[in-house]
Structure 1
Amino acid sequence: MKLFLAVFLIFISSTILYSQETGHNIKISIKNLSNNPVYLGYHYGIRKYVIDTILLNENGEGNFIGNEKLLQGVYLIITPTKKFVEILISENQHFSIFTDTLNLVENLDFKNSPENSKFNDYQKYVRKQQIEIYNLVSEKKGITDSLQISVIDSKIEKTQDIIYDYWKETAIKNKGSLLGLILNSMLEPEIPKSIKKKKNKVLETFYYKEHFFDNFDFSDSRILRSPVLHNKLDIFFKNVVFQSQDSIHFESEKLLSNPNINIDIYKYALVYLINMAETTYNFNTDELFVNIADKYFISKQDLWGDINFLLNLKKRTDKLRPTLLGEKAPEIVMQSYAGNNISMLEISADFTILFFWDPDCDHCRDEIPELKEMYQKFDNDKLKVLAVYIGENYPLWSEFIKENDLNSFLNVYDPFNTSNYKNYYDLTVTPSIFILDKDKRIIAKKIGVEYLSVILNKLINN
């Protein structure tokens, strides 16, 4: 009894000591890397940051030590050659890492960190299965027999199922831990058999979209220090959501209204969305950008604090505001190719195409013939093209008009930008196309010539 009590007291005291450990102490031992620096970094979304550096001794050993605990997440041990291994920093931040420069990942091992050992086992198992898939894909390349291809495809699918089942099993077994959080957050929704039976792709796609974030815990900020959140947002808004401004805006509002969302995740999602709205070029997202900026940034200065950032953001929104959809296009009066002045607002037509271009622009030269061919299909009173040359080289411009017989367009230019049109229309790329209605309100913008005919046919027929 006394022996049991003594052992029990030793256990209790060691547990108390362990629970009272403060700060972090991560011992590094890398074979064949003596007297070299090693860096401790971490993920934050898709970016990586270095927060500490140590110099390994002659035995390739060193310690990352600090009085404060590290914020939990996925961290990196980086060598001078920029090779790295990923580790999990969770509640226990006193452990040892062992590896070898011959193969940092395959030779990785841990002491006193069960969670990292599980993470390591998971990665090694998945890598092994992925190598199997790679070999099967390579084998398939040299085969023409359909039966053999079918057999290989079946093996690939089976291996993918093995990976996914192992992934789910590991996530469930480690629920509540950082490892469980990461693996669970990466899981995709599974279409129920009841829906699959209907063989309705639209229904399946809708279900997938509506349940895409079912396994994602928006309340746990640890996920920020990993690539998972950013990748999840990327897949959802660029591949799952229909690529239109209205659809993205609707889904953005749903995501941001989640009552359980952590404030830092909320802010990260907002920065992601406004950056996406600013850098999407395959369709117009100006209204989305202005809406997010007005509603979530400019009107909530206390949330962001950076006044200079908010001032620059306001300048950007003010620049976009005059040419948002539904707004009356800013007037431009320019000199025509024939020598007289033309006012955009005085053009008489049901629809006007504003085409900003430059003969030196390869894309412009490619689109001009398509625009000309499309324009010839419509009545002159229904549609007119105001082709605005954005450069200053009159001989180059006039020669291009003659060579390509573009006299059916209203060709104008403003070499000194006296009309300030470049600022009004935010001309950062060429060609840039706007469609205006009879009252010169903007009804479409930032579209390719290939879509003009379809859009105009619908507009004119209506």
Structure 2
Amino acid sequence: MCKNLLTILFLLLTQSVIGQNKMSLKGEMSDYIGEKFLLLKGDDGGVFIVDSATVNSRGVIDFNWEGEHGFYRVSNKKDKIDLKINRDAFSFSLSGSIGDGELQFAENDENYEYQYYLSEFTILNESITDLRKQLLKLNEKDSLYKETYSEFKKLKKSKRNLLKDLWNTRIDSWSARFALAQQELTPDIKLTEQKAKEYYLKHFFDYFAFSDSLLTGTPVYYEKISKYLKARKINDLVQDGNFRKIKEVIGNLFWLTELDPGSQKYMANFLMNLYPENENEEIYHIVSDAYRVLNTCEYVLNTKTIKRRINNYKSIKKGWQVPDIPLHHTNDGRMQNLTNVNSEITLLVVWSGSCEHSVNLLSQISEIYYMYKELGLEVVAVSLDANLSYWQNTVSMGNYPWIHSCDTEGLQGSVASQLNIFVTPSMFLIDSSLKTIALPQTFFQLEQKLNEILR
């Protein structure tokens, strides 16, 4: 298990460059001559490396890549600079070190405001932390303790006022939202040990909005979640195999994102990348189960059957032989069974027209279908709808251009039974011999796997 969670975030993912701009970022960093920096950006599953460059002998660093405007991070092993890049050719200059120096941008650039808020919080946070350390060493009866404690309370009040000001009056500004997202509240000196820890964790996400679409999926978003996992001592829990506590920690993160399915997908992808199935099977399934509960449609079946299918589904691995399921009511009369599809790679989707999560997934798949079909992919969508007319209308309205089938017996039918289906949508990526390649839980995981095997 990697000691530094942030290291795991640097996922080298294959990025599609279709329709993207030629981007450049130039920075003057005279204090860092000869040092290598990474340019990072967030996506659906974590933080990936866009480019890397070294500060040349003139103190200049150049990044060039194909991408889009948005929130980026320039980072070495110790420090980072977060930037919102809103033009194809962006530049900055840094006088001094990243921690103590001054950043300069083009005139009236909105990054000025963001860096100002960050510097204000940095000064307050460092001062509050230093005073707290001093107070822990002093005797409460000393006059110096009273003076120091008074200053400590004054600084905490100043920080609260700044937090409230940004949260209440400047929340429409992205710079305020990003600066707020990185803040945590320091417990009072009178709260120690377990009570201080509980206070910290209780207020960890007070100024962090999971529903903020600008924030979701950025390096700040993933860094915040990683800090929370670290604060909950996730590495110790993993080492001890304390899956009950791990389930509680992960469940809390999903509870915090319950009202925002978009953020849940980012959370699920990130955690499943952090704890891949081949290395952390138990944790991977804790994450995927939590996601499926909130982002699939569950159906009523007797308890014993559901339990059996859940256990059987969890045992499905790469190489599992997918049953040659019958394809009823296909839009292509030649297709009687799955083997008739005769495709190099087949994406089997079990879905229902009455399940909004299913319909949303099919819409996403339709956007990439033709690109991957040329590379050897076929899609077979098997519906569990009981009403044929309803199913046919849903397929027609969606204009999904692949093979369709419908098992009107639903969860009681042979398809659901043989594939251990208990929720929709469920996906199986299989090869020409009907052996399982992967079981993607999200559209992002599906694209990752397709890129890996077909591009």
Provide TM-score, normalisation by structure 1.
0.42
Question: Radius of gyration: which is bigger?
Answer: 1
Provide TM-score, normalisation by structure 2.
0.43
